[in-house]
Amino acid sequence: MNVVAASLSAAGGLAVAGAISAVLFGRSVRAALVGLLTAPAGAAAAVAGAAAAGGVSWSLAAPYLLPLTGVELAVDPLSGWFLLLIGAVTAVTGVYTVGYAGRQGHGPGARPSLVLLPLFAASLMLVPVAASVPTLLVGWELMAVTSLLLVLTEHRHAPAVRDAGIWYAALTQLGFVALLIGLVWLAGTAGGPSFAAIRAGARDVDAATASVVFLLGLIGFAGKAGAVPLHPWLPRAHAESPSHVSALMSAAMVKLGVYGLLRLGFDLLGGGAPWWWLLLAAVGAISALYGITQAAVARDIKRMLAFSTSENVGLILLGVGFAGMYAQAGNSTAAVLALAAALLHAANHGAFKALLFAGAGSVVRATGTRDMDRLGGLVRTMPATTVLFAGGALAAAALPPGNGFVSEWLLLQSLLHPGPDAGPMLTIAAPIAVAVVAATAGIGVATYVKAVGTGFLARPRSDRAATARESPPSMVVAMVLAGLACVALAVVPGLTIPVLSRIAGDLRLAPPGGTVAASTFALRVEAATLWPLWTVVGIVAGTAAVAVAARALGRARRRAPAWDCGGGPLTERMEYTATSFAEPLQRVFDNVLAPERDVDVTHADESRYHVAAIRFHQRIPDRVENRIYRPLVTALRSLGERVRPLANGSVHRYLGYMLVALLAVLVVGVLR
């Protein structure tokens, strides 16, 4: 038994033990037990992933666990990379759960929620190690069911939770049906359900069938990743679920959609046609722009982070799409670079988004609100959370020295060097993609300045914010662990380059080597070089020098109160809120956001010429949802009303339906 087998066995056993402990033990200790068992389960999975990414192989066939096909498991560098990501996020989430769910008899601390948490983590680990279509589909559905039940944790206390559950269930099952049809069709055409058989029989799959399978896979995998226009479940589910579940979903689960696209498009289908990857890059670009625009105007802190996830997933898909286009154009250097940027950004996003959702959960636990317009002053009452959230915001805004900057820099380098023989498609698409990355970076800075400035640094705008208290030590420790992961990925990203090159080689994009010249502290691409460690040292040293100089000069100055223009001392009513901060940016994107405004004027009883009150309402809806899903739901509801007489409760009629369906299947089979 090698290190991968031992670590995966330990991870599965600890996850099952965590679920059993939630059943057996009482409220006072079960959250601590579940968290303390889930955390090492994640750590064990991370060890297995690191070993697999480093080249250690392992496989297992259990023919009797599933009817007809059995269970097949295997690891390679690609599955190892995502297993490492999932395990690391699970470890942080487990530590966070100890304090977040402790001493709560309902919601996150309820027995069902604690039973499901380690099972959800185990299902996440199962997906990247699946080596056959049935195993992948079983793991995918287990992941969907456990995450749905966790999203519904607070369904008795908030109607919005039930709405989020309905949207999540509907779009998840839509994606699963698409995957079921596409993967079963592929397995039937290629000659077997195992991934090895599909790879061997890929040459027997005609181009039209391969394209249909890829499109079905795009629906299923991109929908799970939260890409536009299959995203409406994401801001609802991430906002309404407990924060440790939000962290696990956003930082880990959505990445499995990216994993599925890589596995299907490059590994099983062998690369396909250039238009596949152009379509994927377009989906990524639209997701990035739409997601960050919605995040910029959101006042709900968790909804803002959820839309930011759509943005970052969009950037990852953009990198994957260009990797495919470069590979088809014969530019292996740019293909490997784009894929490395996408995979590194997946890891970076996992680190800083786990930190940000943990910070948001800390704020919600202390203040009881997600509304940034009612926060403020937390820098004094919750200093640790403030510093850690600000560090995560720096990374998410792709500003140096954050880890998000490194992967976006790599992505830009891949887009800026399409090669002399790029062809018209890449020549047009690459500059557009550069503009997309630049726009998302700029709007992202404004988004996170709003979150930190109005939510943490401003004056408190509610009593709960003014009286907030710092989170329990385990929650702070979890945030510190996620922050350390961000620092490591920011300072020494070169350590990941050999693994990413190995993944590119396994996916047949190009032979590894010669693309990114990486050392421990430097990244070299073409004529560009990035020194992340020295960037960090320079920024820290410069900031410290300015602070020391300001303090030294301040001794020679006389302190006096700032001029207040005669308005008196500054109050919370005079400062920016999250809504007012985003209002100029909202005006720029009015045509995209299409805000809904309403003004209610209340007149005095004595005369309608006297106004008693004016109330202004503004709501920024999801325009994609309104234009696509609302009409579709209305049409389906109308169709349901029309066909209701077909289901009249008659057993004879139902048997007749079954007979007609059976005859139709037999006729189709004969015609084929």
Band of residue 123 on the pLDDT scale cut at 50, 70, 90: very high
Identify the pLDDT of residue 520.
67
Band of residue 514 on the pLDDT scale cut at 50, 70, 90: very low
Cβ-contact 439, 289 below 8 angstroms: yes
For residue 81, which of 135, 117, 45 has the smallest C-alpha distance? Answer: 45
Tokens at residue 652, please?
A: 């004879």
The two counts, helices (H) then strands (E), for the chain are 27, 7
**Comparing 644 with 389, which gets the higher pLDDT?**
389
Identify the pLDDT of residue 517.
59
Average of per-residue pLDDT across 293-298: 92
Identify the pLDDT of residue 87.
95
**Comparing 92 with 576, which gets the higher pLDDT?**
92
Residue 648 reports pLDDT greater than 80: no
- Between 100-104, 526-530, 657-661, the lowest mean confidence (pLDDT) is in 526-530
Identify the pLDDT of residue 534.
79
For residue 419, which of 508, 327, 501 has the smallest C-alpha distance? Answer: 327
- Between 176-180, 322-326, 421-425, the lowest mean confidence (pLDDT) is in 421-425
Residue 211 CB coordination number (10 Å): 16
Angle at 619 between CA 617 and CA 620, to 5 degrees: 150
Q: What is the pLDDT of residues 141-153, one digit of tens each?
A: 999 999 999 999 8
Q: Return the SS3 of 60.
A: strand
Average of per-residue pLDDT across 249-261: 95
Residue 466 reports pLDDT greater than 90: no
Q: What is the pLDDT of residues 176-225, one digit of tens each?
A: 999 999 999 999 888 888 899 998 888 888 889 999 999 999 999 999 99
Identify the pLDDT of residue 526.
67
Total-model pTM = 0.92
Could you identify the residue written with the tokens 């880990």? 252
Q: What is the pLDDT of residues 42-69, one digit of tens each?
A: 999 999 999 999 888 898 888 887 777 7
Average pLDDT, the chain: 88
Question: Which of 352-366, 556-570, 649-663 has the highest average model confidence (pLDDT)?
Answer: 352-366
- Residues constituting the chain: 672
Could you identify the residue written with the tokens 């007979």? 659
CA dist 171 → 10, 167, 233, 247, 258 (Å): 33, 6, 7, 20, 17
Tokens at residue 167, please?
A: 């949207």
Could you identify the residue written with the tokens 């190995």? 502
Q: What percent of the chain has pLDDT over 90?
A: 48
How far apart are the C-alpha atoms of 228 and 311, rounded to whole Å? Answer: 9
Identify the pLDDT of residue 384.
93
Q: What percent of the chain has pLDDT over 70?
A: 95
Contacts 24+ apart (CB under 8 A), 596-601: 596/620, 596/621
Q: Cα torsion at 209, 212, 213, 215 (round to 10°)?
A: 160
Identify the pLDDT of residue 665.
87
Identify the pLDDT of residue 448.
94
Identify the pLDDT of residue 513.
47
Contacts of 318 (CB under 8 A, 6+ apart): 281, 284, 285, 288, 342, 411, 433, 436, 437
Average of per-residue pLDDT across 574-602: 82
Average of per-residue pLDDT across 114-138: 94
